[in-house]
């Protein structure tokens, strides 16, 4: 409204008051009164237009309707004020809303915006357990004001201020009246936008934030959640829950991660809600208007993450909440567990059976039967009479011991942990100050308050009981917290670093803090990387612990669900995760067990576990034929250890999970709907090179989608080298012994040539498989890009081969890379140029005294018509060249050998010949005098 119009409106209002006064005093006629009413109505409409920025027509029905909406929904009249006198933004941007609330915005030019919504009566004090690296607000100048037009709906949004967040041009925008925010791309097309009239809704003890729901928008994430890969059309509750034998559509579950990635067309964005309080995420369930997030708290803090790919968003999220801690190498091997191993003798016999049957094994888990009367920090004095001797015996056989720890401390006089907890006021309380008490495995228990430093110190001190025996693995269970009856009173109190929370805020971080305390204590006591496993957790749990998907069921539905759960947790930061292979509850058929073991070989955490009272589920429990298949996949897991261990290093360094849904690979989500198809949504990438297609145990044929590739025209069958075209659906054989696994063209795949009894055994030969893209130099566009500061062609692939002692704690160096605290490691960048037939081997740091177990490196070329004798060059200047005299041509068509009795795979056609070259280690890796070795072939 112009200044003159407002002045006229106010003058009209004054005239009406004057006329009314005169009409009353002098008894003017009715005409005078009528004229005054007309003037007042006009003035009110003009003022309403200015206040709400809504061009209403001048009739009493619309004005009345608008007034009713304003009375019911404060969001419609939200406007913000910001002092722009200095015309710049520095530090937190504080916006005062006209309803008394405040919004504080912090921006980073790394593509992150933090938004804090504070109701007028809320104390501005926010406690976060999830955020590991607080956002550093940077000075970002507002650029201009403009109208943003949504190309899908044609709607226009006011954008009074835009702030460029990342180099690609994505911007954070603010509309001051009505107050809304969002992200736009470089062409000012909306990516994510607050709801037009209800961005914030306050209802009692709950605050809801609403985003506009766009046509075709997809949503991925929320960690451990059942349901489809695309969350659209569903709602989920974040409330850690003990759910034994859960259904395939169970919600909520054990772990809560309030983070998701939306795709508006092909452009991703991330939303992380920094609240542990009970919350609900609604992705258009029972409405077509908005995505809503409701949090049971007195304020609302969330982060918007801008990026150009799912990996880009994942990097930002894991930078914010922390990345996985590099686990001990042995924890990547196979773990055997059962609720029912009753004695030291039974455990020793179990390990003996693994070794005599030539089955690799790295860990055995001890469930609650090892304890005295199920009390934590005890061993049964009869059945586990000498626990240190048992741990030593297992260690001598190359097997580590993992003990279960439950949080409940039995109420029992004379029980030392109980006495210490009572004396030092360490347990969760009722509002009246008495300790909360509930029944779990030992009987009536109190529960440590892990939000209190004194409690954390107490727990870490008690862990000496295990560390003195040589225990290196800790399994945190029942930490939702679980109690018989499940309904823990919500009004029990937690210290929460002196914030005094109730269960509504503290439940979701109970398991998180227990695992954090366990990991911190174990690291201090051992002086090396411990293995910690937890059932319950929250965003950021990856900094301390691996996670498993709880008490699942022996069924094909759960087998397929387990892949989806692991993939979802991986993109939500929790990359070291797995499921109870074979199903925890109910008996497994032999086909189900074998199929699940083959799938488990391609998951970050690989453990078989079964409940008490069920038939035995060790690898030999289902007959000799099935044992051969299980042995093959166990050995494949260990053969792939160089690839897997390096993939874990990549995850801990960058946030890229080991198991990835196919959206990580796609550059055009909009044009690749097969990724979200129910038939293909369980498929995943295992590291950079492998694609795995989970199949039910009864299926002998599998329908598989091979995604489109930017830098290759080929997918290879892992076992046969059979070729498949990217972007196609294929029907492939999937007999019980052959889980469908494929290799991406252009990939580097390192492995051992043989496997030993555990991860300590290193093959003397490192095998590096190199897969052709299917394109020759003449058809490749001359495009280059930079990786780690090095210029690569558009068809190049790089792989970082990581080697260390497998146990030293990794810390950030001055250049932000991860290196072991003892400084002993080797980090080698392999740059593969399949179209020019070159492999560069580049040193990225390491120890001169690193003693590698390898003596030879075998290069295996896949997809080449022929390979002539290769040359190897070494040294900084690449001038010292020598010719390799030994070249082995192999007539076999198999990249990975399969058991000889499985003839059906050998009948597959269209396979390529492999070519092999063996090189001495000292010739392959850069020498002390140089930083690079180049291998080329014709």
| Active-site amino acid positions | 477, 480, 551
The residue count of the chain comes to: 938
What is the DSSP pairing of strand 363-366 with strand 334-338?
parallel
User: By CB neighbour count within 10 A (0-12 exposed, 13-18 middle, 19+ buried), where does 165 fall?
Assistant: buried
Q: What are phi and psi of 498, to 5 degrees?
A: 70, 25
> Rounded to 5 degrees, what angle do the CA atoms 504, 507, 512 make?
145
Count CB-CB contacts under 10 A for residue 177. 17
Q: What are phi and psi of 193, to 5 degrees?
A: -140, 135
- Whether the Cβ atoms of residue 364 and residue 395 lie closer than 8 Å to each other: no
Alpha-carbon span 227 to 231, nearest angstrom: 7
| DSSP annotation string for 28-54 | --HHHHHHHHHHHHHHHHHHHHHHH--
- How far CA 550 is from CA of 511, 517, 560, 592, in Å, comes to 13, 20, 15, 18
Alpha-carbon span 840 to 843, nearest angstrom: 10
Q: What are phi and psi of 116, to 5 degrees?
A: -120, 120
Alpha-carbon span 73 to 587, nearest angstrom: 54
User: By CB neighbour count within 10 A (0-12 exposed, 13-18 middle, 19+ buried), where does 152 fall?
Assistant: middle
- How far CA 895 is from CA of 819, 863, 887, in Å, comes to 33, 11, 17
What is the DSSP pairing of strand 493-494 with strand 409-410?
unpaired
Nearest alpha-carbon partner for 761 in 326, 399, 354 = 399
Quickly tell me which residue has 């010739």 as its tokens.
Answer: 923
- Whether the Cβ atoms of residue 193 and residue 156 lie closer than 8 Å to each other: no
Question: Encoding tokens for residue 727?
Answer: 């972007």
User: By CB neighbour count within 10 A (0-12 exposed, 13-18 middle, 19+ buried), where does 2 fall?
Assistant: exposed
- Whether the Cβ atoms of residue 405 and residue 474 lie closer than 8 Å to each other: yes
| DSSP annotation string for 833-860 | ETTTTEEEEEEEEE-TT---S-SEEEEE
Question: Encoding tokens for residue 379?
Answer: 């061993």
């Amino acid at each position: 409204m112009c200044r003159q119009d407002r002045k006229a409106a106010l003058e009209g209002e004054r005239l009406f008051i004057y006329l009314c006064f005169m009409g009353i005093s002098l008894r003017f006629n009715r005409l005078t009164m009528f004229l005054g009413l007309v003037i007042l109505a006009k003035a009110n409409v003009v003022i309403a237009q200015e206040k709400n920025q809504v061009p209403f027509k001048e009739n009493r029905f619309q004005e009345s309707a608008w007034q009713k909406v304003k009375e019911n929904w404060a969001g419609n009249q939200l406007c913000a004020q910001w002092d722009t006198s200095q015309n710049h933004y520095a530090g937190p941007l504080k916006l005062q809303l006209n309803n008394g609330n405040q919004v504080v915005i912090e921006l980073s030019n790394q593509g992150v915006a933090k938004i804090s919504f504070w109701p007028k009566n809320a104390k501005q004090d926010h406690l976060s357990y999830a955020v590991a690296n607080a956002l550093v607000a940077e000075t970002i100048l507002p650029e201009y004001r403009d109208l943003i037009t949504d190309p899908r709906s044609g709607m226009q949004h006011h954008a009074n201020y835009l702030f460029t967040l990342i180099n690609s041009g994505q911007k954070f925008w603010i509309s001051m009246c009505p107050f809304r925010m969002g992200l736009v791309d470089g062409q000012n097309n909306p990516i994510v936008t607050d709801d037009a009239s209800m961005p914030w809704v306050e209802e009692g003890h709950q605050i809801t934030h609403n985003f506009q729901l766009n046509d075709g928008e997809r949503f991925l994430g929320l960690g451990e959640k059942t349901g489809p890969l695309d969350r659209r059309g569903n709602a989920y509750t974040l409330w850690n829950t003990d759910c034994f034998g859960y259904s395939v559509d169970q919600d909520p579950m054990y772990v809560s991660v309030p983070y998701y990635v939306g795709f508006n067309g092909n452009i991703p964005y991330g939303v992380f809600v920094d609240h542990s309080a009970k919350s609900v995420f609604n992705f258009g369930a029972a409405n077509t208007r908005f995505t809503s997030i409701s949090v049971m708290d007195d304020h609302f803090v969330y982060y918007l993450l801008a990026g150009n790919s799912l990996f880009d968003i994942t990097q930002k999220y894991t930078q914010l909440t922390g990345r996985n801690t590099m686990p001990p190498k042995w924890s990547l091997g196979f773990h055997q567990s059962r609720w029912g191993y009753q004695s030291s003798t039974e455990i020793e016999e179990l390990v003996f059976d693994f070794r005599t049957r030539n089955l690799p094994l790295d860990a055995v888990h001890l469930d609650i039967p090892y304890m005295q009367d199920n009390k934590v920090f005890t061993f049964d004095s009869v059945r586990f009479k000498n626990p240190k001797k048992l741990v030593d015996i297992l260690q001598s056989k190359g097997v580590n011991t993992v003990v279960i720890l439950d949080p409940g401390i039995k109420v029992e006089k004379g029980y030392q942990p109980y006495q210490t907890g009572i004396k030092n006021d360490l347990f969760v309380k009722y509002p009246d100050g008495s300790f909360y008490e509930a029944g779990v495995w030992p009987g009536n228990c109190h529960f440590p308050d892990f939000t209190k430093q004194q409690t954390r110190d107490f727990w870490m001190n008690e862990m000496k009981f295990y560390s003195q025996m040589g225990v290196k693995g800790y399994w945190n269970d029942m930490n939702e917290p679980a109690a018989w009856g499940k309904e823990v009173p919500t009004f029990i109190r937690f210290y929460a670093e002196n914030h005094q929370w109730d269960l509504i805020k503290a439940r979701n971080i109970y398991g998180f803090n227990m695992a954090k305390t366990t990991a911190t204590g174990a690291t201090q006591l051992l002086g090396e990387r411990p293995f910690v496993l937890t059932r319950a957790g929250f965003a950021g749990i990856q900094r301390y612990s691996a996670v498993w998907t709880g008490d699942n069921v022996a069924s094909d539905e759960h087998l397929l669900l387990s892949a989806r759960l692991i993939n979802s947790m991986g993109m939500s930061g929790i990359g070291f995760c797995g499921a109870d292979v074979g199903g925890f509850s109910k008996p497994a058929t032999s086909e189900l067990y074998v199929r699940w073991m083959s799938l488990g070989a391609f998951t970050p955490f690989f453990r078989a576990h079964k409940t008490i009272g069920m038939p035995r589920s060790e690898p030999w429990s289902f007959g000799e034929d099935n044992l051969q298949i299980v042995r093959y996949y166990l050995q494949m897991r260990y053969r792939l250890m160089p690839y897997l261990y390096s993939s874990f290093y990549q995850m801990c360094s960058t946030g890229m999970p080991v198991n990835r849904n196919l959206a990580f690979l796609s550059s055009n989500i909009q044009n690749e709907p097969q990724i979200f198809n129910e038939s293909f949504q369980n498929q995943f990438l295992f590291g950079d090179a492998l694609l795995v297609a989970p199949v039910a145990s009864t299926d002998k044929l599998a329908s598989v989608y091979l995604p489109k590739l930017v830098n290759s025209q080929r997918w290879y069958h892992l076992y046969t080298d059979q070729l498949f075209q990217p972007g196609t659906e294929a029907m492939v054989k999937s007999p019980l012994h052959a889980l469908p696994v494929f290799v991406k063209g252009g990939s580097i795949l390192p492995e051992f040539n043989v496997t030993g009894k555990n991860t300590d055994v290193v093959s003397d030969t490192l095998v590096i498989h190199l897969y052709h893209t299917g394109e020759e130099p003449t058809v490749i566009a001359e495009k280059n890009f930079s990786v780690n500061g090095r210029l690569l062609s558009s068809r190049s692939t790089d792989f970082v081969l990581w080697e260390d002692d497998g146990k030293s704690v990794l810390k950030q160096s001055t250049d932000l890379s991860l290196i072991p605290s003892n400084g002993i490691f080797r980090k080698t960048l392999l740059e593969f140029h399949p179209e020019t037939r070159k492999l560069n081997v580049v040193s990225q740091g390491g120890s001169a005294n690193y003693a590698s177990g390898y003596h030879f490196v075998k290069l295996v070329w896949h997809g080449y018509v022929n390979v002539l004798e290769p040359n190897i060059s070494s040294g900084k200047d690449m001038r010292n060249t020598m010719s390799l005299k030994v070249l082995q041509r192999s007539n076999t068509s198999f990249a990975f050998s399969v058991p000889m009795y499985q003839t059906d795979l050998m009948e597959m056609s269209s396979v390529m010949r492999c070519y092999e070259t063996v090189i001495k280690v000292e010739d392959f890796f850069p020498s002390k005098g140089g930083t690079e070795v180049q291998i080329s072939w014709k």
